[in-house]
Amino acid sequence: MQAGFFEKQIVLTPDLCGSAATLSPLAAFTIFQGVASEHAEKIGVGGAAMAKRGEFWLTVHSRVDFYEPAYLMDELTASTWPEQCEGQDIRCFRSYRLTRGEQTVALGRTQWAILGPEQKILRFEQSGFPADFPFPDAAAIAEPPVRFHDELTQDELIYTHLVRATDIDMGRHMNNVVYIRLLLDCFSAKELASGRIKSIEAHYASPCLEGETLGVFCRRKERLCRMAVRHADGRPAVLAQIVFR
């Protein structure tokens, strides 16, 4: 394994599969979040180390592109690496790759920021990666993040969701992967298992807390779905798109 990279072998167990016994779109986000956390711990910027400094990693933007199916009990390799960032930067990217042998199953990319003890975004020279970290010169997804606009109407409300205890992570707000589940719950199990989802991309606009009631919105036009999760007062929590083949 090259310097700066982290990889882990994963068996595709039933909890990671959809109704067709293949990798579920939600599971790809779950796997990538997990390997990022493991890698962060190994290089000294994991949740425990950051908490001691009163700091917290914020996911700002996330995207996963899907290529080949993976099947129940397949052995997969999940890889991740932080992309190059400078001391004055306030956001950085992390890339992901999920493979079965030589085949690419999915690629991912997240954008991160560091929230400091005064609830302010920190520059990476104030915290973040070790000064001598060997950043790989590579990005799993080269395109810049989509800039979303909240244009959905109340008529496009699909359902509401009460944020419950099991949605909450160690930051005491709703886990990033749960938002993806809310978006995917706008579709049938058959559609999710069809293999037609090409890409899921989400911008995290504001945190959600236990007890809130959220609205989940969707506008579908041909192969593109524009989506949003909103607070009860109308503020966006997440703006997103799902692209179908």
Question: Which pLDDT does position 156 carry in this prediction?
Answer: 98
Instruction: State the burial class of residue 112 (Cβ atoms within 10 Å of its Cβ: 0-12, 13-18, 19+).
Output: buried
Can you tell me the distance from the alpha carbon of 102 to that of 90, in angstroms, rounded to the nearest whole number?
A: 35
Give the model's confidence band at 220: pLDDT under 50 very low, under 70 low, under 90 confident, else very high.
Answer: very high
Q: Tokens 């707000």 belong to which residue?
A: 173
Q: What does residue 8 show for φ and ψ, rounded to 5 degrees?
A: -145, 140
The average pLDDT across 173-201 equals: 96
Give the model's confidence band at 1: pLDDT under 50 very low, under 70 low, under 90 confident, else very high.
Answer: low
Q: Is the dihedral of CA 181, 183, 187, 190 positive or negative?
A: negative
Task: Using alpha carbons, select from 65, 31, 12, 62 the residue that is nearest to residue 197.
Answer: 65
Task: Using alpha carbons, select from 6, 76, 10 the residue that is nearest to residue 41.
Answer: 6
Give the model's confidence band at 123: pLDDT under 50 very low, under 70 low, under 90 confident, else very high.
Answer: confident
Q: 4: helix, coil or strand? A: coil
**Does 78 or 113 have the greater pLDDT score?**
78
The average pLDDT across 45-52 equals: 78
Question: Could you give the residue ranges of the DSSP H alpha helices within 59-205?
Answer: 176-184, 189-192
Provide the token pair at 124.
């990476």
Provide the token pair at 161.
């969701």
Question: Which residue type does 124 have?
Answer: F
Question: Which pLDDT does position 206 carry in this prediction?
Answer: 95
